[in-house]
């Protein structure tokens, strides 16, 4: 039995749609695969990658064939360790107390996060954030390869492409299962920059169904 694992942000987990209308489940239904869809709206890349590794470690115990789809999001997001009682924003999940940070929240957050927001959004140090993302992606794909997990890593919105340097992109292009982060983003498949509706989700599903059908050739 093959298990499709999916992670990302609201571009994958559009809460305005039913679960069975989102592309991971559409893919699973088409291919006859079990689906673990773990995308959470508002996620940053750190959470997406961190939780993908955590979840896949647990899924390895099922002895099922795992295929992972990892949708990356806006570079200029981060996370911080919260508590059950601190602030009013959502948590990522049970026993996971990390929360999303966005610029308009900075005045209500701890000092170290306010400093991060000032440095990141005032100086706009996208180069540093992109370098961190590169390191995280390299670690993720090495994890996948070590555990024989097939995968595709790709950008959800256009924003990530605007931050990627040519050197960054050239390095990642050596891996056929990292879909060109400089020139491809998932939303381009839908013809809109908005969160995918039902038709958009189906177009995304069709794109990945074709890729996943030919997975052994693509990831050599």
User: 75-126 pLDDT, tens per residue?
Assistant: 878 787 765 455 445 566 666 767 777 656 656 666 767 776 766 665 556 6
CATH value at residue 167: 3.40.50.1110
Determine the Cα–Cα distance for residues 6 and 28; give it in Å rounded to an integer: 11
What is the number of alpha carbons within 13 Å of residue 202 lying toward its C-beta? Answer: 2
Per the domain annotation, does 157 fall within a domain?
yes
The count of domains in the chain is 1
Sheet holding 34-37, edge to edge: 34-37, 2-7, 65-72, 150-155
User: 161-182 pLDDT, tens per residue?
Assistant: 777 778 877 888 889 999 998 8
Per the domain annotation, does 108 fall within a domain?
no
Per the domain annotation, does 94 fall within a domain?
no
Determine the Cα–Cα distance for residues 101 and 27; give it in Å rounded to an integer: 31
CA-based max dimension of the chain: 49
User: 45-58 pLDDT, tens per residue?
Assistant: 999 999 999 999 99
Helix pair 198-213, 23-31: axis angle to 10 deg: 40
Per the domain annotation, does 54 fall within a domain?
yes
Per the domain annotation, does 93 fall within a domain?
no
Determine the Cα–Cα distance for residues 179 and 172; give it in Å rounded to an integer: 9
Q: What is the pLDDT of residue 88?
A: 46
User: 57-68 pLDDT, tens per residue?
Assistant: 999 999 999 999
Range of the domain at 167: 2-76+126-218
Give 211's pLDDT tier (boundaries 50, 70, 90): very high
Per the domain annotation, does 175 fall within a domain?
yes
User: 15-33 pLDDT, tens per residue?
Assistant: 999 999 999 999 999 999 9
| Secondary element (H or E) of residue 21 | none
Measured in whole angstroms, how far is the alpha carbon of residue 206 from the centre of its chain?
Answer: 19
pTM score of the predicted model: 0.88
| Nearest residue to 102 via CA among 196, 197, 9 | 9
């Amino acid at each position: 039995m093959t298990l499709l694992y999916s992670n990302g942000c609201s571009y994958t987990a559009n809460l305005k749609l039913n679960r069975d209308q989102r592309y991971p489940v559409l893919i699973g239904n088409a291919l006859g695969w079990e689906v673990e869809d773990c995308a959470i709206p508002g996620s940053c890349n750190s959470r997406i990658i961190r939780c993908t590794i955590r979840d896949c470690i647990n899924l390895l115990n099922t002895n099922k064939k795992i295929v992972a789809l990892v949708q990356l999001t806006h570079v200029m997001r981060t996370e911080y360790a919260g508590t059950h009682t601190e602030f009013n924003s959502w948590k990522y999940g049970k026993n996971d107390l990390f929360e999303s940070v966005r610029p308009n929240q900075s005045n209500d957050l701890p000092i170290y996060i306010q400093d991060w927001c000032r440095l990141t959004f005032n100086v706009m140090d996208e180069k540093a954030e992109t370098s961190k993302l590169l390191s995280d992606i390299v670690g993720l794909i090495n994890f996948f390869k070590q555990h024989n997990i097939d995968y595709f890593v790709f950008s959800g919105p256009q924003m990530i492409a605007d931050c990627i340097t040519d050197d960054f992109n050239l390095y990642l292009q050596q891996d056929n299962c990292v879909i060109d982060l400089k020139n491809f983003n998932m939303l381009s498949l839908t013809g809109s920059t908005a969160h995918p509706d039902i038709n958009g989700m189906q177009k995304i599903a069709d794109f990945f169904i074709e890729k996943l059908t030919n997975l052994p050739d693509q990831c050599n």
